[in-house]
Amino acid sequence: KVIGRLTRIVIETIDGKQVLSKDSAGFKRLLTRMSFIFRMCKIIPRVGVKMSVILVSICYIKRVGPEYISALSLSEFVYDQHCLGALVIASKYVNDICLWNCHWARYIERFPQNDIDRFEREFLAGLAWKLRVTEVDLLTSHSFISHGL
């Protein structure tokens, strides 16, 4: 449920609330979304991401907004780039001892370390290096996970 909510907010942030068309482009985008959700359902438990990291990731994803998204290349891995950038940064912010990017790359298996480094740098730029998270931010993220708001 939690991973589903996280992936939903990533997809909505990138695509907005757009309805997929019924042509081949819409079908391809649907497949891209489904593969992203499937990958995150495998990666998040494998890495051992804690709830606190997911809550902070949601805060960061909501904070960067459409300006950051327009700067991303709209490749088939744009969802992964956005989600992993948030997770890596949130993990480093929340945890005293965290995974290095080479470990993320090893667990993920799809992206090499230099891609993880780039996702992190680009997401940090999108956040303007403002990593602080308030109690209100966390409560908003928690209510999103709990109630799907």
- Dmax of the chain from CA atoms? 48
Convert the pLDDT of each residue in 79-109 to its tens digit: 888 888 888 999 998 887 888 888 788 888 7
More confident residue, 70 or 102: 102
Task: Tell me the one-letter amino acid at 39.
Answer: R
Structure tokens at 9: 């907010």
Task: Tell me the one-letter amino acid at 57.
Answer: S
More confident residue, 132 or 146: 132
The model's pTM is: 0.79
| Mean pLDDT, residues 98-126 | 84
- The CA–CA distances, whole Å, from 26 to 21, 23, 31, 116 equal 5, 5, 9, 28
